């Protein structure tokens, strides 16, 4: 291949890979298989090996991370990164509004309200549309250069999309870690015996401020954009709401929760609604940012020294509290792992009473030096189990009277089997002969996100195990009416219901079944990937380490757990027995119901009112159809919401079927 051809192809590949990264990481709707994606990347890597000058900073191959540096260099921000006035009192928001109405001489002011992300504020500079530098906030004037690190975050566009781009633009946003990512990272770190992060914010900061960007690349970070700080060579939008839309158009991830608020009352309502929804968001937020929408009004309101007069952070109640450790108990999980748990004097943390907090493992207890009787600071993040952040020293007298340091028991507190140390963790060696492991495993098997067997919660599992009716998963499918009626909690009706629920669980989707097995390191996400890739339990059980690690998003650790699980004869026996008892999970591409959308591809454009994009996609897929992001000859049908984009025009030109959202719902039998 000559240089010109290579350069042309590299350019095409950049655009193509960027598009798929965006579809995968920002829109959550990939349109090609992992194998096809990997092939594109490999082709680009080969070209860049031949012609290294083509490995430009905006190449998708730059997302892997580079050799470590000695310390992060400083960098001056294009514009000072201001801070926000903040309050937790809605009354202060009313005063803020009163001041502004006076200055602007207006009856009511148009605000925008949006989540205040609890992450790390970052400035990104794009020159001619290409990411040129990234820096942390630092002291507001000078920050740390984290350019190579930011490049590894897949939701950061390396090149802005669209036309008429400014020659120079500075974007502000927040780098954060989702709660699921945080949980998973801490799990991995505990597994390896490394210290855990106290909260997602620390985890994001620690991951971003790495000298070795390869470490950053391995961390589940996301970047949410919320402000264009300055732009040269193009006008700025007239309002913040238009600015957010523009950021989305340029390819940034913009959180969808923002809202226009006519008047401060709406903004305060937004704050209290979001406070309610806080625990169900995928990431941590610590309040709401309320800002004047119009740029002209902002200019008229002006600035103070370090913060604008036109913006206010209305924060939520903090989720950290201090309390006393009454006892350190040891809990046995479904994998046999022993977890030290601090039993606390109950305390209200942001509206929830907390009486226990995880201490992760023995190493963590020692590192934090937590003992019975200590005062500790605890923190609750989203729906994550509360954690002990640190010990709060209690003065010279108290320090002298502290109890002995904690140590792990040498036998399982439940079944008395020997305890084994594996890396940083301790495990009960009893397997399912340990009643606690069996019970936890059964509860997980039957839980809502696994096989969803109604009526098989903690109490009934306890009863069935204690009466010796089940000692592994297969026994569940051998239960009879007589078995159940012999137990105090069951009558005719409840026994019948439970048996029916067990019967129905035999044909649940394969990913649910894989998740239900409780394989170490296999959460719902990994289970879905494995189900899609291997299609049946037999094929998954037969997969080699090489085949497993070849799957996108599956690392050696997960692959090791999967192959270890199926390599164990005891597990294979139970799986064979279940299959003989009629447990046949539905393969991923043949959901149980009818498939009226089979072979049809849907494209969505514009804003849907009743559905999110993800819900719409799910409906199409459940009915056997596919979803694409671009309109072509093979598009079966275009669904147009409000303000449809160019896809709509193209669909008209091609003479395709165009449906409204309501028509789509009717077609899908949802109306
Ligand atoms: S707007 C003029 N919007 O909260 C300041 N800030 O001191 C413009 N933050 O570290 C900032 N989420 O970076 C804005 N949606 C959001 C935000 C947000 C988080 C950060 C900000 C700063 C802190 C406030």
Contacts 24+ apart (CB under 8 A), 493-496: 494/455
Distant-in-sequence contacts of 623-626, Cβ < 8 A, 24+ apart: 623/593, 623/594, 623/595, 623/596, 623/597, 623/598, 623/668, 624/591, 624/594, 624/595, 624/596, 624/597, 624/598, 624/599, 625/597, 625/598, 625/599, 625/600, 625/601, 626/600, 626/601, 626/602
Query: 592 pLDDT exceeds 60?
Result: no
Looking at residue 31, what is its pLDDT? Answer: 79
Probe residue for ligand 1, chosen from 84, 243, 292, 295 as the CB with the greatest number of ligand atoms within 8 Å: 84
Listed residue (53, 363, 6) closest to 192, CA to CA: 363
Answer yes or no: is pLDDT of 150 > 60.
Answer: yes
Q: Could you give phi then psi for residue 47, rounded to 5 degrees?
A: -65, -45
CA distance 614 to 550: 27
Q: Which atom, in ligand 1's list, is nearest to the CA of 116? A: 12
C-alpha angle 407/408/414, rounded to 5°?
Answer: 140
151-172 residue pLDDT tens: 999 999 999 999 889 999 999 9
Where does the pLDDT of residue 591 fall: very low under 50, low under 70, confident under 90, or very high at 90 and above? very low
Q: What is the pLDDT of residues 498-534, one digit of tens each?
A: 999 999 999 999 999 999 999 988 988 899 999 999 9
- Helix H or strand E segment including 36: helix 34-50
For ligand 1, mutation pick of 82, 111, 121 (most atoms within 8 Å of CB) = 121
pLDDT in tens, 258-291: 999 999 999 999 999 999 898 889 999 999 999 9
Atom 4 of ligand 1, nearest CA residue: 116
pLDDT digits (tens, 9 = 90+) for 376-411: 999 888 777 888 988 988 778 878 889 999 999 999
Cα first-last separation, the chain: 56
Percent of the chain with pLDDT over 70: 98
Which position has the token pair 């003992």?
371
Question: Within 6 Å (CB) of ligand 1, which residues are found?
Answer: 82-84, 114, 116-117, 121, 137, 174, 226-227, 289, 308, 311, 313
Q: Is the pLDDT of residue 593 over 70?
A: no
Q: How confident is the model at residue 343 (pLDDT cuts 50, 70, 90)?
A: very high
Closest-CA residue, ligand 1 atom 15, reads: 116
136 close to 147: Cβ distance less than 8 angstroms: no
Q: How many Cα neighbours within 13 Å face the side chain of 652?
A: 8
| Cβ burial, residue 605 (10 Å; 0-12/13-18/19+) | buried
pTM above 0.75, yes or no: no
Six-digit token string for 277: 């929804």
Q: Which helix (H) or strand (E) holds 614?
A: helix 613-622
- What mean pLDDT is predicted for residues 110-127? 96
Nearest CA to ligand 1 atom 17: 116
Task: For 58-98, write each residue's pLDDT tens digit.
Answer: 888 888 776 656 578 899 999 889 889 989 899 999 999 99
* Protein residue with its CA nearest to atom 2 in ligand 1: 82
For the CA of 83, the nearest atom of ligand 1: 7
Residue 310: predicted pLDDT = 97
Kindly give the distance from the C-alpha atom of residue 290 to the centroid of ligand 1, in angstroms, as a whole number. Answer: 10
- Ligand 1 pocket test: pick from 80, 82, 83, 274 the residue with the most ligand atoms within 8 Å of its Cβ: 83
Q: How far apart are CA 205 and CA 221, in angstroms?
A: 10
Catalytic annotation on 116? yes
Catalytic residue, from 11, 116, 154, 400: name it: 116
Kindly list the strands in the beta sheet with 657-659, ordered across the sheet, starting from the edge strand earlier in the chain. 626-628, 601-605, 637-640, 657-659
Mind listing the pLDDT tens digit for each residue in 173-182?
999 999 989 9
Bigger pLDDT: 623 vs 117: 117
Neighbours of 348 (CB within 10 A): 11
């Amino acid at each position: 291949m000559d240089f010109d051809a290579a350069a042309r192809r590299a350019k095409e590949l950049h655009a193509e890979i960027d598009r798929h990264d965006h579809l995968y990481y920002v829109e959550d709707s990939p349109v090609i298989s992992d194998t096809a994606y990997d092939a594109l990347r490999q082709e680009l890597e080969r070209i860049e090996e031949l012609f290294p000058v083509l490995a430009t900073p905006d190449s998708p191959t730059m997302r892997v991370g580079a050799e470590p540096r000695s310390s992060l260099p400083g960098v001056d921000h294009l514009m000072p990164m201001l801070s926000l006035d903040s309050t937790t009192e809605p009354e202060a928001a009313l005063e803020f509004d009163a001041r502004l109405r006076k200055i602007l001489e207006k009856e009511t002011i148009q605000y925008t309200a949006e989540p205040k992300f609890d992450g790390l504020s970052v400035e990104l500079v794009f020159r001619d549309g290409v990411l040129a530098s990234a820096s942390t906030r630092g002291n507001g004037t000078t920050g740390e250069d984290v350019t190579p690190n930011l490049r590894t975050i897949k939701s950061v566009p390396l090149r802005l999309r669209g036309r008429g781009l400014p020659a120079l633009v500075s974007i502000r946003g927040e780098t954060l870690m989702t709660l699921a990512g945080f949980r998973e990272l801490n799990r991995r770190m505990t597994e390896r015996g490394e210290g855990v992060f106290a909260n997602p914010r620390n985890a994001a900061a620690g991951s971003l401020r790495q000298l070795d960007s390869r470490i950053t690349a391995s961390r589940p970070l996301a970047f949410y954009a919320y402000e264009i700080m300055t732009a040269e060579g193009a006008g700025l939008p007239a309002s913040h709401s238009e600015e957010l839309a523009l950021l989305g158009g340029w390819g940034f991830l913009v959180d969808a929760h923002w809202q226009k608020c006519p008047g401060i009352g709406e903004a305060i309502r937004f704050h209290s609604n979001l406070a309610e929804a806080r625990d169900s968001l995928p990431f941590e937020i610590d309040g709401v940012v309320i800002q004047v929408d119009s740029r002209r009004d902002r200019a008229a309101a002006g600035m103070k020294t370090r913060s604008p007069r036109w913006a206010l952070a209305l924060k939520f109640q903090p989720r950290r509290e201090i309390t006393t450790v009454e006892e350190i108990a040891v809990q046995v999980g479904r994998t046999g792992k022993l977890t030290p748990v601090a039993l606390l004097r109950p305390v209200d943390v942001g509206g929830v009473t907390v009486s226990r907090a995880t201490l992760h493992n023995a190493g963590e207890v020692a590192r934090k030096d937590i003992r019975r009787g200590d005062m500790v600071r605890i923190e609750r993040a989203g729906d994550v189990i509360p954690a002990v952040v640190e010990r709060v020293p209690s003065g010279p007298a108290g320090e002298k009277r502290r109890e002995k340091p904690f140590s792990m028991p040498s036998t399982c507190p439940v079944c008395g089997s020997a305890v084994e140390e594996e890396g940083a963790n301790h495990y009960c060696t009893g397997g399912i002969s340990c009643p606690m492991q069996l019970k936890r495993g059964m509860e997980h098997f039957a839980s809502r996100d696994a096989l969803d067997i109604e009526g098989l919660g903690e109490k009934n599992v306890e009863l069935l195990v204690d009466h010796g009716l089940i000692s592994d998963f297969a026994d569940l499918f051998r239960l009879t009416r007589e078995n159940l009626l012999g137990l105090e909690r069951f009558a005719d009706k409840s026994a019948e219901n439970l048996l029916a629920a067990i019967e129905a669980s035999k044909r649940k989707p394969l990913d649910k079944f894989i998740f239900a097995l409780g394989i170490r390191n296999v959460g719902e996400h990994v289970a879905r990937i494995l189900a899609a890739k291997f299609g049946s339990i037999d094929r998954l059980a037969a997969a080699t380490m090489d085949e497993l690690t070849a799957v996108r998003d599956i690392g050696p650790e997960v692959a090791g757990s999967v192959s270890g699980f199926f390599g164990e004869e005891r597990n294979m026996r139970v799986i064979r027995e279940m299959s003989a008892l009629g447990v046949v999970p539905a393969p991923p591409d043949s959901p149980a119901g009818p498939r009226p959308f089979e072979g049809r591809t849907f494209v969505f454009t514009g804003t849907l009112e009743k559905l999110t994009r993800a819900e719409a996609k799910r409906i199409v897929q459940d009915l056997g159809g596919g979803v694409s992001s671009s309109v072509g000859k093979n598009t079966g049908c275009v669904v147009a919401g409000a303000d449809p984009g160019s896809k709509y025009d193209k669909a008209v030109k091609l003479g395709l079927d165009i449906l409204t959202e309501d028509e789509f719902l009717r077609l899908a039998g949802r109306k």
